[in-house]
Structure 1
Amino acid sequence: MPVKVLIIDDSALVRQLLTEILSKDPEIEVVGVAPDPLIAREKIKQLKPDVLTLDVEMPRMDGLQFLANLMRLHPLPVVMVSSLTEAGADVTLKALELGAIDFVTKPKLDVAKGLTAYGPILCEKVKMAAKARIITRPPQAVPRPVAAAPATAMAFRTTDKLIAIGASAGGTEALRVVLEMMPPDAPATVITQHIPAEFSRPFAERLNRHSAMVVMQAEDGAPILAGHAYVAPGGKHLEVVRDGARWRCRVSDGEPVNRHKPSVGVMFDSVLKACGTNCVAALLTGMGDDGSRELLALRQAGIRTVVQDEATSVVWGMPGTAYRLGAADEVLPLERIAPRLLELARNA
């Protein structure tokens, strides 16, 4: 059975383009379109779509308010269609927090050309969303470590330990949960999340607001310090390189690896070369298999590895592939990953 999609966008041009793009895929059927959330609400009842595509800026009702109501009353998989602006990034990240599965970007100029170029990605994400698990979490649902008892504090003062984390679809919220549970003196942490260039800095800034660690977008040559987390810039690879007794970030503009840039696999490969068994690694929710084979190489080298379990993953693609390859020492629910990474890093 094809995936039934309802397109919600106030632009007639965008509705037409999305209909044409999605209808080219034999596994997708566009069952309807709606120019605003109020009309969409009635069409959802009539047409019973499997997936919605949703613009965030619409008349009569804000897209975020519609999404919040939808997830509370009638949860459905949603793929956001977002503008490539700083405001668009903030709204999209909020939408993912509310329960949207994933997003595609809508350029401000030459929308037709831009959306057509994203066609294969959009189709893939819509089909993935139909199979995804809808997980909604209230903001700061996980206790923050700053209020923890002193006995839980971990005296990591240098870059003698490293945590490496990869994620894709569903990862923006999974990473928020993990970093909320990290103490301010946690081991240095490097993160690759599949995300467009315009979204990675706002994403890092958002994580910083939710974590006792200092979270930032990685800069080329930046020293990797305890108590800091470094997010790969969108459209660039993040690697860890050794500089004497220290580690530094290397941000490079190479070719996509495993179809991704940034690639989790590139980061994991660099961690293996630069850090050896002084690190631990985790693979969180995500579509595809990026990082899974490289996680296996880490485990085979004696590095402890963790993957997120299927029940708490939005998409059990990357972690599921890693599990089937034998790349995981442990398979854990999301809420147990941060404490376990800290424990493993302490004993690495």
Structure 2
Amino acid sequence: MKAMKKLIYLLTLLVIPIFLAGCESKLLVFDPKGPVARSLTDLIVYSIILMLVIVLVVFVLFVYIIWKYRVRKDDADFEPKEEKGNHWLEITWFTIPVIIVIALMIPTAKTIYEVENIPQGYEEEEPLVIHVTSADWKWIFSYPEQDIETVNYINIPADHPIQFKMTSAGTMQSFWVPELGGQKYTMANMQTNLFLVADKPGSFYGRNTSFNGRGYAHMEFEVQAQTKEDFNEWVNDVKTTAMDLTEEKYGEILEPGNLGRMTFNNTHLEWIDHAHGGSEKYIDPELYRITHGDGKHEEDKEETEVQTEESHTEVEEETSDSADTAHSHH
């Protein structure tokens, strides 16, 4: 009876996560919408299957050995013979992990090198270049060919290669659009490259995956893949309706904080490319200063200091008046 209760308990623990998983939407990593994401998803699935096979074999051997060599009542006094090590077993235990590592390493290295270039089938097309500048806590996207700049959203043509040239105006952050590709870091004073393609028009979620301060949770952006006609129409609309980006306005955008979407004509690349330094001209370290305690505590502290100074002044005045009175009596 106790064994049956334990079995039911274990089955319940296994079934609950399955029901809970059904309450969530599909994992974006396993829903690729482009060739780069598809290559990475295939690698993840292959790795999971390989590791599951290994775990299954280990558990089967584990159960078999425990059952075969379990303690029995009739061999309580049994003493096994002394045996020397088996060289073939030692070679086997060494070889198996090496084979597992090779089985994971080869497809991983192949996929990593593959996604560093323009995806297969798009080599003959000239990629659209978009400069990505991460700041605390927003994403800035510059289109040098179209002379357009956006904040916290990107419009791209579908079925066309996009080359992201990425850098950071301050802290290191991570650019990730899970349905289109893997994540890659943005770092100050250097440039990283990422090629992505969206198979079809659609909206894709992107975010920063590297914790970098209090605004990290809201550092998100949208990638809107459009038909080439819609993308060209959007470019023309921006040209006729968006305001010009000034260097002063760009400095305000870089101040630490979360922002909504913005669209501008011209780009900050006219004044600075953070991949080549110069961010200190626009970043004020004092804006990142954090005082200990909340604001109310600081206000109370300042008020207490003012009251203390006033009390000292009153005491000094009373002492002075008393001395003058005593002197006049004399």
**Structure number with bigger Rg:** 2
- Normalising by structure 2, we get a TM-score of 0.24
- Larger RCO (CA under 8 A, 6+ residues apart): 2
- Normalising by structure 1, we get a TM-score of 0.23
- Higher percent of residues as helix: 2
